Structure formats: structure tokens, C-alpha cells
Amino acid sequence: MAGVHAVARRAASAGRDVVHRGLAALGLRQSEHAIARDASEYWEDSAGATWKADSHWRDAPVFEGNDLWHQIGARHLAMFQRGARMVQFERPWKRVVEWGCGGGANAVHFAQHCDEYIGVDVAPASLAECADQVAAACGTPFKPVQIPVERPERALDLIAGPCEVFLSFYVFELIPTPEYGERLLRIARDLLAPGGLALIQVKYDDGRWRSRPRRRSYKTGVAAMTTYRIPEFWQLAERNGLVPEAIELVPENELDRRYAYFLLSKPC
């Protein structure tokens, strides 16, 4: 019976997605301000049924009975290390900034390789959880930075000094609009030291209408809000002062599908 209910929920979610994408295609889009307001309300409500899964907390149901929570961070660390070797990025990681640290799945792996780990998130509960997970994994100091959805640039005032590494995983698909993502790229550029390296994951638009940016009804489609065509994001990074070095595609994994990881550097 539980399986039947799960199938019914997925079907209902898919139906809502079709409706909202249809309305957006007809021009009935919400403004970035309205979507950001809804996003802020969503991430403030940590009691929501899917909130922990969306935030990648270790005790979320999606991670029960498996090692996926640890695998996520381990895979991303290995991916970053491959990219770093490819571009001969050999400097020490004094400071690492993770944009959207959630429950710490990435932080517990990356923090072991740096002198200070800075977690940026809109949810104070996730910052506290990430801090606990890092403390249990290693002795690297963790600095929590809470920012409002509507003003991500606030991070520039709260993070003193540059970082060598900037990370963002499973975040850009959650942001209000593709244009909002351009703001985040400028923040990454401003935070990175010259010669620094970023690894940013996006969900890509594969040309089908259902893979386009949704642009409405945030709370009913959190992980499907924002997508980019692969050349589009490459060019967006270039326009905002970052140099695309490589792309790694993951068409599907245990969590979702259509992931593109962009390795970006800041010119010296």
C-alpha cells in the first residue's frame, strides 16, 4: 500500500509540474521577487515533510539504510581533486566556501583538507547541523554564514577575506531564476582569490520543454525551479569573470537527473 501511495504522490507532483510549466509558457510567470519570497518561507520551515531531504541532512529518509549521504561528498571531493590535478591547482586550501552547505554531506569530506570551512546557507537549522557534522568528522574550524534568499550579496559582507576554493552542489536548481544564478556567479568571483578554483553543479536543460526553468510556484517544485543549457552556463560564467576549465556530466544518479558540474577558475 505504501508503494501505491508513493506512486500516487509522484503522479500528482508530475501533474502539478505540467500545469505550472504550461502556465509559465503562456506568460503567467512570477517575478523573481515573488519566487524568492516563497523560497524564503520554504527554507524557514524545517518541519516540512521533504525539507530534510531537500537539505541533505544525514537522518533524512532518503539516506536511511544506505551509504548515499557519505557517497555524495566523497564523489564530489574526488571530482574536485580530478579537476584540480587537470589544471595544476596545487596551492593549499586555506579557506573553502560552500554555498548551500545543507546538512554537511560535502563539508565532512572537504573540511578535512582545509584550514577553515565556511558554510553559507539560508537556513539556520542547516548551518547548525552542518557545524555538528564537521565537528564530528575533523577539527577544522567551521564558520556559519546565514544569508537571506532575497540578498545573497550579504555574504560578501560576512565573509572576511578571499577563499581558494568555492563549492556549490545541489543548489542552483533550487534558486528562484536563472538570472539569480548570475548574481551567485559574481559572488563566487568576488570571494575567490586570484587563481582560485570553483566547482559548481547545475541542472541542465536538455531541450525538452519540461526541463526548462519553471519560473513559478516554488513550493510545489523546489528541485525543478532553475535549469541552464550547458553552453548558456559556460557563457554566463565567462561574462562574470570566471574561466570555464571543464564540465563533467551526470545524466542520472540516485537523487535525480541532468546534472552538470562546471570547474571554473578565477584569472590571476
SS (H, E, C) the chain: CHHHHHHHHHHHHHHHHHHHHHHHHCCCCCCHHHHHHHHHHHHHCCCCCCHHHHCCCCCCHHHCCCCHHHHHHHHHHHHHHHHHHHCCCCCCEEEEEEECCCCCCCHHHHHHHEEEEEEEECCHHHHHHHHHHHHHHCCCCEEEEECCCCCCCHHHHHCCCCEEEEEECCCCCCCCCHHHHHHHHHHHHHHEEEEEEEEEEEEECCCCHHHCCCCCCHHHCHHHCCCECHHHHHHHHHHCCCEEEEEEEEEECCCCEEEEEEEEECCC
pLDDT band at 16 (very low <50, low <70, confident <90, very high): confident
**Placement of cell 536563472 in the chain:** 178
Domain harbouring 137, CATH code: 3.40.50.150
Each residue's pLDDT tens digit, 123-139:
999 999 999 999 999 99
pLDDT interval class at 7 (50, 70, 90): very low
Set of cell numbers at residue 239: 561574462
Q: Is residue 145 part of a domain?
A: yes
pLDDT digits (tens, 9 = 90+) for 25-83: 667 689 999 999 999 999 998 887 689 999 999 999 999 999 999 999 999 999 999 99
pLDDT of residue 14: 61
What total of structural domains would you count in the chain? 1
The Cβ of residue 232 has, within 10 Å, a number of other Cβ atoms equal to 14
| Separation in Å, CA 246 to CA 15, 97, 265 | 36, 20, 10
| Range from 3-12, 63-72, 180-189, 258-267 carrying the lowest mean pLDDT | 3-12
Give the residue among 131, 122, 106, 97 at the shortest CA–CA distance from 46.
122
178-191 helix and 230-239 helix, angle to the nearest 10 degrees: 40
Q: Decide if 228 is inside a domain.
A: yes
Q: Find the domain containing 106 and state its range.
A: 32-265
Residue 27 maps to a domain: no
Q: What percent of the chain has pLDDT over 90?
A: 84
Side chain identity at 45, as an amino acid letter? D
d(CA 53, CA 48): 10
- What's the rounded Cα separation, in Å, for the pair 242 and 263? 10
- Whether 92 maps to a domain, the answer reads yes
pLDDT value of position 21: 76
- Taking CA atoms, 176 is separated from 32, 124, 180, 218, in Å, by 6, 19, 7, 8
Task: Tell me, yes or no, if the pTM score tops 0.85.
Answer: yes
Does residue 236 lie within any of the structural domains?
A: yes
Enter the C-alpha cell of residue 28.
503567467
144, part of any domain: yes
| Residue 219 resides in a domain | yes
**Mean pLDDT of the region 85-96:** 96
The rounded percent of the chain whose pLDDT value lies above 70 is 90
Give me the residues paired with residue 165 across strands: 96, 197
Report how far residue 130's alpha carbon sits from residue 123's, in angstroms, rounded to the nearest whole number: 11
Q: What is the pLDDT of residue 216?
A: 93
Residue 15 lies in a domain: no
Which pLDDT score, from 0 to 100, does residue 8 have? 44
CA distance 165 to 161: 12
131-167 confidence digits (pLDDT tens)? 999 999 999 999 999 999 999 999 999 998 999 999 9
pLDDT of residue 1: 43
pLDDT of residue 18: 74
**The C-alpha cell of 168 is what?**
556549490
Q: Is pLDDT of 4 > 50? A: no
Tell me the average pLDDT across 89-117.
97
